[in-house]
Structure 1
Amino acid sequence: MESAAPLEKPGVVLLADNEQPREAVPLSGLDAAQNPVQIYLGDEHPRKRSTRSKWAIVLISSTAAHVVTAGSGIYTLSYDQFKDEWGTSREVSTLGLSLYTLAMGLGPLVIAPLSEFYGRRIIGLCSLVLYLIWLIPCALARNIETELVGRFFTGAAGSAFLSVAGGTVGDVFEPSQLQTPMLVYSTIGFLGPDVGPMIGGVIAQYTTWRWSFYVLMICTAILLALFYFFSPETYAPVLLRWKIERLQKETGPDINVDQKPRSIVRAVLTSCTRPFQLLVLDPMVTCLCILTAFTLGIQYLLFGGFTYVFETVYHFELWQIGLTFLGIAVGAFVAMAMDPFWRRYREKQVENNNGISEPEFRLPTVAFGALCLPISLFWFGWTSRSSVHWIVPILGTVPFGIGGLFVYSGVWTFLVEAYPIYAASALGANAFTRLVSASAFPLFGVQMFERMGIGWAASLLGFLTLVAAPFPFIFIRYGKRLRGLSRFAKS
């Protein structure tokens, strides 16, 4: 820790280390006329931690996001058991998926601002504890009403890791180092909705649906222990506040610093409106959120789509239907293998820009991924027929895995770098739009495939992704100019 000058005079000015904008902490009630003393985090700054510690923090948060998103899909192949036990229809059972996903979208609107006030660690711990508690009524439910209520609050409890975890990656890594850790975080989180049905299919085939929730409870308990012992606070403004409070105790009341807002409720309510301000007032946030919303909405719609296609056309059993999601997973790993190429491409862009990095250099991967999505959907839709071997439509989902991962990782990294002060709020806005979309799509997925036919239903989804595909290309060219006009972005 860097040593500070003696704190002898009242009204000294305490300043955050301004090397990174996200470290700035608003201080009020200061008399700048007094001799100022600069207080730095120094070695306490999260970006000064060892590489091993940084990656431990990222992997734990990423795995938590994976478990939470897997919790949505692990439920989807148990609908027949709900019908046998409670007499519920597929539509009512699907509400459990939609309510869970909707809650994951609404949660970050409150949790993201709270994390910027209280810090990442306490929010993460509370999220895991509450997630574990709400899994209990889901596992022990005796009627569909209890199950649906439990699903909603479980999704809300776990939603912290869909916005705060992304901000945590930006806390511990410099902007120039963000690409690989953000790709790892995106990959682990992206695979959650696909790993869930793989596990859920085996459980539904060989045992009761309640074991889906028992498995989630075991994983959450392990994660809670890992998070408690190996994931410290990473939000620099909170760490700086703690350091100032510690110095105040050591030096007495001579330091006159008022860092806390007069009304915590007012501060949180003000922060809760920021994601909507970003969505309404910043066109880049709006358009990129639409792209991710289409991507995740279609990914969740495929829960029902895969069941319909491989059950009616290929007569797969439940555990086999779960394994059809491997195509998307393989695509995600192919995208990870392409990361060195895109890293070199970005380094060349920085070099050609006189060594200055721009957030828009993150968008070529998004543009590439956006083009992969419609290709995948057209391929899957028009090869899903009994005259074509089942492996062909599964291979058609590989480009969806590539495109989806590049879209998510590129957009999230862009938001963290372009909106550094409001990173959690920008990610919260993105989580809200994509998860609200994902909560609606499954409600009409099976019906759409039944009435339109597999080929035309998949084509309609492909045309939706084509509508959003130009957005990253536009922002590659005009993004810097738009950032200059934004009241939120770094210009």
Structure 2
Amino acid sequence: MSHSQDFLVGWDENDPANPRNFSLARRWLIVVLVSMGSLCVTCTSSIYTTTYAQITERFHISQIVATLGLSFFIWGLGCGPLVLGPLSEFYGRRPIYILSLLFFLIWLIPCAVAQNVQTLIIGRFFSGLAGSAFLSVAGGTVGDLFARHELAAPMMVYTASPFIGPEICPLIGGFINEFTNWRWSFYVLMIWTGALLVAIIAFVPETYHPILLKHKAATLRKETSDPRWKSPLDQSTQTVHTRILESIYRPILLLALEPMCLNLCIFSAILLGILYLFFGAFQLIFSTVYDFTLWQRGCSFLGLLVDMVLAILTDPFWRWNYARLERNSTEEKYPPEWRLPPAIAGAPLVTIGLFIFAWTIYPSAHWMGAIIGSAVFGAGTILVYSGILTFLVDAYPSYAASAMAANSFARSSFAGVFPLFGVQMYNRLGYHWATSLLAFLTLGMVPFPYLFFRYGGRIRKKSRFAGGN
């Protein structure tokens, strides 16, 4: 056995096949394309909310039935990664992207030509399921291309895309559905997806290192006629079946047995739930209180969008803060809790933003007040997410993919459910108290990032999945 170790295939220095040795421009092009995939998929979730008025009239259904199309799409997004993540580790990233985008495009067709609401809802679920690869697998691609010390900027671009997508599309959808038929919302997405599919086939090669080394070993075996050349993946005995099962049960174990993971996942789930609830609530509030037309209601999301981008641009400050903690530390191993300061800063902003939004929605007050409230909420949400997601990856290094899957599963469950009761809640409680109720929900979560920052090390010592300090 020791003899065959000599034949284990690895990367040579400056190996041109190693994705980290691609030119900087090529690596960035790949990151931009997979981020565009993520943007396109998340856009598809929210552009649908601008079609409600036409769909309810066309199919003679209530708005809650129309909202099911949004919820089922998000649930598809939540379930997909549990299967697509492990598949990408066996077959590589590239085939998963191409098939995922192809099926995403195919399932948009029944949505565009649907003659009844059932077709639309089923089409939405399966398009969400197919498109979810870009929310789970693409993060791995960024890691394939960049070494750890170069990761910050490309990772920021990729993590921003699923948050910016849902804010851009009500804007586009508002104009489409104001001036033409709702089916054009789906035609535009099909054109976008088709163009993206061509670009990914042309410019995104395989980047997953174990698969590339497997190909390299196969070439060496062929060239040398020596069967002893093996890649690490060739030596693995795990099957696709066991990996998929593990990918389904391990996130659930993390949520069940890890109080920190559960708590932070619930916090991020509540925030995404509120964000998706807003897609219905904004349409309702800005049409009844301020008499906005459909395209103006789409523009009301600009506050959220601008402040989310501003929050993303604070990233260098948080990196500086992390470096400061490192410099002042006497510990050899840096605790993952140091990733939480953005969440500590963002949590109160979320609550403040919701209260501003709640108590400025009066016909006598200028609509700008409500937009500012939603903008503060958006900035807080991004900061909380960046803190929580980097913490989860750092705290569970061996199970990072499972921790992210647990977070994605919790987020999608909440994001799918919240819109279903949003409009009724606003009608029942009134606009001010309905939003205040959401604000009080987030207020209860505000102390947790700080408590974990202070006492996380002690909690992790009792953990089965995260090593103590």
- TM beyond 0.5: yes
Could you tell me how far apart the structure 1 residues matched to 2:466 and 2:20 are? Answer: 22
SS at match of 1:383: coil
Asked whether the equivalents of residues 167 and 423 of structure 1 are also in contact (C-alpha less than 8 Å), the reply is no
Distance 1:240 1:394, change over 3 A: same
Equivalent position to 1:296, from 269, 272, 291: 272
Distance 1:60 1:357, change over 3 A: farther
Distance 1:173 1:263, change over 3 A: closer
Match of 2:355 in 1: 378
1:333 pairs with 2:309? yes
Could you tell me how far apart the structure 2 residues matched to 1:232 and 1:483 are? Answer: 39
Asked whether the equivalents of residues 167 and 416 of structure 1 are also in contact (C-alpha less than 8 Å), the reply is no
SS at match of 1:234: coil
Asked whether the equivalents of residues 114 and 268 of structure 1 are also in contact (C-alpha less than 8 Å), the reply is yes
Could you tell me how far apart the structure 1 residues matched to 2:336 and 2:153 are? Answer: 15
Gap runs ≥5 in structure 2: none
Deviation at 1:131, TM superposition (A): 0.3
Match of 1:32 in 2: 2
Asked whether the equivalents of residues 179 and 413 of structure 1 are also in contact (C-alpha less than 8 Å), the reply is no
2:219 alignment partner AA? R
SS at match of 2:132: helix
Structure 2 counterparts to residues 164-203 of structure 1, below 5 A: 164-203=137-176
- Deviation by residue 1:124-179 (Cα, 9 ceiling, x = unmatched): 11111110010011001111111111111111111111111223223323333333
Asked whether the equivalents of residues 4 and 228 of structure 2 are also in contact (C-alpha less than 8 Å), the reply is no
1:123 pairs with 2:96? yes
Deviation at 1:60, TM superposition (A): 1.3
Match of 1:305 in 2: 281
Asked whether the equivalents of residues 367 and 473 of structure 1 are also in contact (C-alpha less than 8 Å), the reply is yes
TM-score using structure 2 length = 0.92
Distance 1:366 1:167, change over 3 A: farther
Match of 1:88 in 2: 61
Equivalent position to 2:319, from 331, 338, 343: 343
Deviation at 1:222, TM superposition (A): 1.4
Q: Report which stretch shifted further, 469-478 or 118-127.
A: 469-478
Gap runs ≥5 in structure 1: 1-30
Match of 1:415 in 2: 392
1:245 alignment partner AA? A
Could you tell me how far apart the structure 1 residues matched to 2:464 and 2:34 are? Answer: 30
Distance 1:126 1:214, change over 3 A: same
Distance 1:188 1:372, change over 3 A: same
Deviation at 1:412, TM superposition (A): 2.6
Deviation at 1:194, TM superposition (A): 1.3
Deviation at 1:408, TM superposition (A): 2.3
Could you tell me how far apart the structure 2 residues matched to 1:197 and 1:141 are? Answer: 21
1:428 alignment partner AA? A
Could you tell me how far apart the structure 2 residues matched to 1:49 and 1:285 are? Answer: 36
Equivalent position to 1:397, from 374, 382, 406: 374
Asked whether the equivalents of residues 82 and 244 of structure 2 are also in contact (C-alpha less than 8 Å), the reply is no
Asked which structure has the greater RCO (Cα within 8 Å, sep 6+), the reply is 1
1:459 pairs with 2:429? no
Could you tell me how far apart the structure 2 residues matched to 1:343 and 1:103 are? Answer: 34
Deviation at 1:455, TM superposition (A): 1.4
Deviation at 1:211, TM superposition (A): 0.5
Could you tell me how far apart the structure 2 residues matched to 1:129 and 1:207 are? Answer: 27
SS at match of 1:349: helix
Match of 1:243 in 2: 216
Deviation at 1:356, TM superposition (A): 6.0
Asked whether the equivalents of residues 182 and 413 of structure 1 are also in contact (C-alpha less than 8 Å), the reply is no
TM-score using structure 1 length = 0.88
Could you tell me how far apart the structure 2 residues matched to 1:177 and 1:484 are? Answer: 30
Asked whether the equivalents of residues 79 and 409 of structure 2 are also in contact (C-alpha less than 8 Å), the reply is yes
Deviation at 1:35, TM superposition (A): 6.2
Distance 1:282 1:56, change over 3 A: farther
Could you tell me how far apart the structure 1 residues matched to 2:238 and 2:317 are? Answer: 50
Could you tell me how far apart the structure 1 residues matched to 2:188 and 2:4 are? Answer: 59
1:386 alignment partner AA? P
Structure 2 counterparts to residues 22-171 of structure 1, below 5 A: 31-32=1-2, 36-42=6-12, 43=15, 44-171=17-144
Asked whether the equivalents of residues 358 and 436 of structure 2 are also in contact (C-alpha less than 8 Å), the reply is yes
Distance 1:233 1:34, change over 3 A: closer
Match of 2:242 in 1: 266
Match of 1:234 in 2: 207
1:382 alignment partner AA? W
Asked whether the equivalents of residues 140 and 210 of structure 1 are also in contact (C-alpha less than 8 Å), the reply is yes
1:362 pairs with 2:332? no
SS at match of 2:295: helix
Could you tell me how far apart the structure 1 residues matched to 2:150 and 2:460 are? Answer: 22
Distance 1:427 1:71, change over 3 A: same
SS at match of 1:397: helix
Distance 1:76 1:330, change over 3 A: same
1:432 pairs with 2:413? no
Q: Which has the higher helix share?
A: 2
Match of 2:291 in 1: 315
Asked whether the equivalents of residues 218 and 229 of structure 2 are also in contact (C-alpha less than 8 Å), the reply is no
Distance 1:247 1:482, change over 3 A: farther
SS at match of 1:255: coil
Asked whether the equivalents of residues 127 and 158 of structure 1 are also in contact (C-alpha less than 8 Å), the reply is yes
Could you tell me how far apart the structure 1 residues matched to 2:297 and 2:7 are? Answer: 64
Deviation at 1:213, TM superposition (A): 0.4
Deviation at 1:41, TM superposition (A): 2.1
1:277 alignment partner AA? L
Match of 2:364 in 1: 387
Distance 1:432 1:186, change over 3 A: same
Alpha-carbon RMSD across the aligned residues, in angstroms, is 2.2
1:147 alignment partner AA? L
Deviation at 1:260, TM superposition (A): 4.9
Could you tell me how far apart the structure 1 residues matched to 2:28 and 2:123 are? Answer: 33
Deviation at 1:288, TM superposition (A): 1.9
Could you tell me how far apart the structure 2 residues matched to 1:358 and 1:227 are? Answer: 38
2:353 alignment partner AA? S
2:161 alignment partner AA? I
How many residues are treated as equivalent by the alignment? 461
- Deviation by residue 1:15-52 (Cα, 9 ceiling, x = unmatched): xxxxxxxxxxxxxxxx2366634532243443343332
